[in-house]
Structure formats: C-alpha cells, structure tokens
Amino acid sequence: MSEADAILVEKHLKKITIRASWSILSAIVIALSSVAGFYFTTSATLHEHTTDINEVKETVQDVQVHLNEMDVFKGVSLVEMKAMENGLEAVEKQVEKVDKKVDKLDDKLDRILYQTRN
C-alpha cells in the first residue's frame, strides 16, 4: 500500500470516528433529555397528586369532626355507635365483594373482546 493510500485510509478512519462520536453523543443527549423530561413530568404529577391526597384527607377529617359534633349523634350511646360502625364495616365488605365481582366481569369482557378481535 502506498503512502497516499495510507493517508487516504487514515483520513477516512478519522472522518468515520468523528461521525460515530457525534452519533453517540447525540444519542446520549437525546436519552438524557428524555429521562429528564420523564423525571420532571413524573415529579410534577406526583406533587400534584400528593397535594390532592392531602386535601382529601383534610376534607375527610373536617367531615369526621362535623359528624362527631352533630346533634344527631350526641344522644347516641357507645353501644349504638359500635353497632353503626359494625354495620358500616359490613357494608364496606359487601362493597369490596362487589368490586371484586366487577373486576372479574371486566376481565372476562376484556378476554371476550380480545378473542373477537382475533
């Protein structure tokens, strides 16, 4: 191989190396910007949801205080309050059962839809 060919090969190798370096660098910049965008979007959403949850907690606490101070419950004995709480717990259990049934039905409908599409 002549000296001119060696110089030409060396130029091509440098050019290819520079292009590859730019490609890698641009891929890294794009990846980092995607990660940064995801992070900031997620953290903003998380902050928003945390604020919403705290507002709901405060509202629930206010409602509890209001219910405890209502005249309706002032003359109610502890036994009657416990009976109402037990009734509420039973209703909550029934709601959980209904939610589970709804989830099962939803899964079955999803499977049916999937089968009809194929």
Q: Do the Cβ atoms of 82 and 76 come closer than 8 Å? A: no
Q: For residue 18, name the pLDDT band (cuts at 50, 70, 90).
A: very high
- Sorted by sequence, the CB contacts under 8 Å of residue 73 that are 6+ apart come out as 67, 81
Report angle CA 79, 80, 82 to the nearest 5 degrees.
65
Give residue for tokens 């890698």: 24
**What's the pLDDT tens digit per position in 93-113?**
999 999 899 888 888 888 888
Token pair listed for 117: 């599409």
**What's the pLDDT tens digit per position in 74-97?**
666 777 878 888 989 999 999 999
**What's the pLDDT tens digit per position in 57-68?**
888 888 888 777
